[in-house]
Structure formats: structure tokens, C-alpha cells
Amino acid sequence: MQHQYRSTGSAGFTLIELLVALAVMALMTTMGWQALAGMQSAMEGNRSHNDAVLTTEAGLNQWTADLDAMQEIPQTRSLDWDGRALRLTRRSAQQGDGAYVVAWTRAERAERAVWLRWQSGPVSTRESWQAAWGAAAAWAQGAQASTVNALAGNASSIRPAEVSITALSAWQLFYYRGGAWSNPLSSAGAQNAAALPDGIRLVLTLDAPHPLAGTIVRDWARPTLLGATP
């Protein structure tokens, strides 16, 4: 009996073709990861840019809100600038919560200069206001939290809180008094140093890589001058 064998041609890859295909796939995978990494880096850069802008804008808005809410209390200071920090007394947004002492300054944190805001807890008596006012000054001079708490008297009712706004190269303040802008510490137009100025000009200098690097100017006018309710 005679057997017949039919030969079938193989359609498989040769070893060289398989190696070439693997090399191409590896190259495409590498290029894909590089493109993905570039997209992720761009997204992170945009997010960081937006966060820096929004944080700075929020700080400026808070600055304006603090000035708008200044409260004049008899025989106390509503506003004080000593060349290093601005302290002010502001009313609470909630009725019946008393007043707050707020301070703004530029100081070193984590080896960089930043713009900082500090706020006391609510104060309802002259003694608690004096303690918070002194605590704000001590904080601006670089006192530690324990020292600030001790100056504030009752740490449970007056909780010093520091918020870092943005890296800051320099800042300046000018008061509008007597129809002109001047240094708050100068005697020009300041017959009554305790009186609130008609306006306050804030000048911030931001360095790169901040997206708003350069000089930012924010002017504030006393609401009563505009006929608004303070």
C-alpha cells in the first residue's frame, strides 16, 4: 500500500522578522511613554501656574476684605503700620462674634520670603483686644507660636493662625492723606496718626518663576469716602 504525503507551506514568521517586530513595538512603546510624560508635565505646569495665580488673587481679595471690614473701637487702634507689619482690627462676618485682630507681613519661611497673614480668635473685651494686638506684633517680629499664645493670654479662645499667601521679593505700603500718596511713617499729611487714611496702596514685587512675576499694585479706598456703608 502506497502512502502519499502532502506538503503544506508554513505561513509563520522567521526569527529575524519576529525580532524586527519586537524592536518596532518597543520603539513605539517608548515613544508613547515619552509623549504621555510630556503631556503630564505640561498639565502639571499649567496646574501649578493656575494655582499660583489663584492663590495670589485670593490673597489680594482677602487683603481688600480685611481693609473693608476695619472696625473703629474707642481708645484702640484700628490700623497700624510699623514698617514691617500691618495690624488692623476688623469686625467679624458673623453677627455677635466680636472683632478680630489681623496682621500682614513679609517673613522668611522654609528659606524663602513669603507674604503672610495672621488672625487672632474673636475678641470681645478691651483686655482681649490688647492681648491679641500684642500677639500680632510679636508674631510679626518672629516670635514662636508658644510665645504668641502666652501673649494672647488664653490660647483656647485666641488661636493664632498663619497663612502663607505667596513668595514675595518685597512689599511697600503708601497712605493717601491730604490729597497725596506718602510713606505711612512720614509726617507729611499725618497730623493725626491714629486716623484712618483715605486710601492705602499695596505694592508687591514677585520674582520668577511666579507667573505674575513683576510688580502688582492694589489700591484701596475707604468705603465711607465713596458713600458706601463700611
Residue 153 has pLDDT above 60, yes or no: no
Residue 3 has pLDDT above 70, yes or no: no
Query: b or e along 176-201 (b: 16 or more beta carbons within 10 Å of the residue's beta carbon)?
Result: bbeeebbebeeeeebeeeeebbbbbb
Average pLDDT over residues 134-154: 72
CA angle 228, 117, 203 (to 5 degrees): 70
**Greater pLDDT, 142 or 148:** 142
pLDDT tens column, 53-93: 999 999 999 999 999 999 887 778 899 999 999 999 999 87
- Dihedral (C-alpha) 127, 128, 133, 138: value to the nearest 10 degrees? 110
**Greater pLDDT, 1 or 135:** 135
Lowest mean pLDDT among 39-43, 154-158, 190-194: 154-158
Residue 229: pLDDT band (50, 70, 90) is very low
Domain ranges of the chain: 12-68, 71-166, 169-230
